[in-house]
């Protein structure tokens, strides 16, 4: 199973240009699963509700169809972040477009910083879907900071966590070592690069998209700056082996009844 990390540097608000660029990056490498960044074709730093309204897309919109068509054309899964316009309001979402034309939607559970001004907290919860012989779980950027996110996906049976990101802090790429190791799961963090300067505030995104194995090996690491498409073959069976020696199975031995007793000295 070949996984591709697509790292881009979108220009804020230039949807058509950013989509074209992402599709041409995808064309550079053949893979079974492509993971793209968070808010992959709009840019990150919204500064008004009006802007979110103008740049967001419903699931039946043309930009979403472009990625669905590409997944069908290539016979691959494409997982990308986008601002979603829904009946309830706006969400920071990711969508997995499958080659049969079906889609799996995830809405970001843990919103970061000023996202809270413009998006609703996700209401889909974490889920895992099957593609060929691999189970894929979806997460978005700041979800990583809550260990429950990747733990939940791993407990739900994910072999690979597709983590669409726009990281501004330098820690996630390092923390993935521990999260992949402790959950015995592949983590694919597709991050963007570049700086956005909008209304007196500038954010610089940290690049270095990474793919980490259930053994904590860094199989891929992108550059700090600039675009990249990186590919690697993975074995989903490795994620299903939660044993670290003949005596210790790190999932079978969990003792959840001891993990929630707060407040007792």
Q: Please confirm, yes or no, whether 224 is among the known catalytic residues.
A: no
User: Given 141, 164, 172, 196, which residue is catalytic?
Assistant: 141
Rg of the Cα atoms in the chain = 18
Choose, by CB under 6 A, the member of 46, 90, 91, 112 that binds ligand ACM.
112
Query: Could you say whether residue 142 binds ligand ACM (CB under 6 A)?
Result: yes
**How far, in Å, CA of 235 to CA of 119, rounded?**
36
Exposed e or buried b per residue across 117-142, where buried means at least 16 C-beta atoms within 10 angstroms of its C-beta: ebbbebeeebebbebeebbbbbbbbb
Q: Please confirm, yes or no, whether 108 is among the known catalytic residues.
A: yes
Which stretch in 54-62, 164-172, 178-186, 250-258 sits in contact with ligand ACM by CB under 6 A? 164-172
Query: Could you say whether residue 119 binds ligand ACM (CB under 6 A)?
Result: no
H-only helix segments in the chain: 15-26, 49-55, 62-74, 115-118, 147-155, 172-183, 237-240
Q: Please confirm, yes or no, whether 116 is among the known catalytic residues.
A: no
Cα distances (angstroms) measured from residue 59 to each of 36, 84, 94, 101, 155? 17, 7, 11, 12, 28
How many residues in the chain?
265
User: Given 51, 68, 108, 172, which residue is catalytic?
Assistant: 108
Number of Cβ within 10 Å of residue 25's Cβ equals 18
Query: Could you say whether residue 139 binds ligand ACM (CB under 6 A)?
Result: no
Query: Could you say whether residue 168 binds ligand ACM (CB under 6 A)?
Result: yes
Query: Could you say whether residue 196 binds ligand ACM (CB under 6 A)?
Result: no
Choose, by CB under 6 A, the member of 35, 98, 167, 190 that binds ligand ACM.
167
> For 249-252, which contacts have Cβ atoms below 8 Å and span 24 or more sequence positions?
250/182, 250/184, 251/154, 251/155, 251/184
Which stretch in 25-33, 80-88, 163-171, 246-254 sits in contact with ligand ACM by CB under 6 A? 163-171
CB of 243 to ligand ACM, least distance (A): 33
Query: Could you say whether residue 185 binds ligand ACM (CB under 6 A)?
Result: no
Q: How many residues bind ligand ACM (CB under 6 A)?
A: 7
**How far, in Å, CA of 191 to CA of 39, rounded?**
10
Query: Could you say whether residue 179 binds ligand ACM (CB under 6 A)?
Result: no
Query: Could you say whether residue 95 binds ligand ACM (CB under 6 A)?
Result: no
Q: Under the rule (CB under 6 A), what is the footprint of ligand ACM? A: 38, 112, 141-142, 166-168
| Residues annotated as part of the active site | 38, 108, 141
């Amino acid at each position: 199973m070949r996984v591709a990390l697509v790292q881009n540097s979108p220009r804020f608000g230039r949807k058509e240009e950013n989509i074209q660029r992402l599709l041409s990056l995808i064309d550079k490498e053949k893979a079974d699963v492509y993971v793209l960044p968070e808010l992959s074709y709009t840019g990150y730093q919204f500064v008004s509700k009006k802007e979110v309204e103008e740049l967001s897309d419903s699931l039946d919109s043309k930009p979403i169809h472009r990625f669905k068509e590409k997944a069908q054309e290539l016979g691959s899964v494409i997982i990308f972040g986008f601002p979603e316009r829904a009946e309830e309001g706006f969400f920071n979402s990711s969508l997995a477009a499958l080659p049969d034309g079906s889609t799996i939607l995830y809405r970001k559970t843990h919103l970061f910083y000023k996202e809270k001004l413009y998006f609703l907290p996700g209401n889909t919860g974490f889920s895992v879907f099957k593609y060929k012989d691999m189970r894929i779980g979806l997460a978005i950027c700041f979800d990583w900071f809550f260990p429950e996110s990747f733990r939940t996906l791993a407990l739900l049976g994910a072999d690979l966590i597709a983590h669409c990101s726009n990281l501004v802090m330098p820690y996630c790429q390092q923390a993935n070592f521990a999260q992949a190791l402790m959950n015995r799961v592949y983590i694919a963090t597709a991050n963007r690069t570049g700086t956005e300067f909008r209304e007196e505030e500038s954010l610089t995104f940290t690049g270095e998209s990474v793919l980490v194995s259930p053994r904590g090996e860094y199989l891929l690491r992108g550059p700090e700056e600039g675009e990249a498409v990186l590919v690697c073959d993975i074995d989903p069976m490795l994620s299903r082996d939660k044993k670290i020696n003949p005596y210790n199975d790190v999932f079978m031995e969990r003792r959840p009844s001891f993990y929630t007793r707060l407040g007792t000295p």
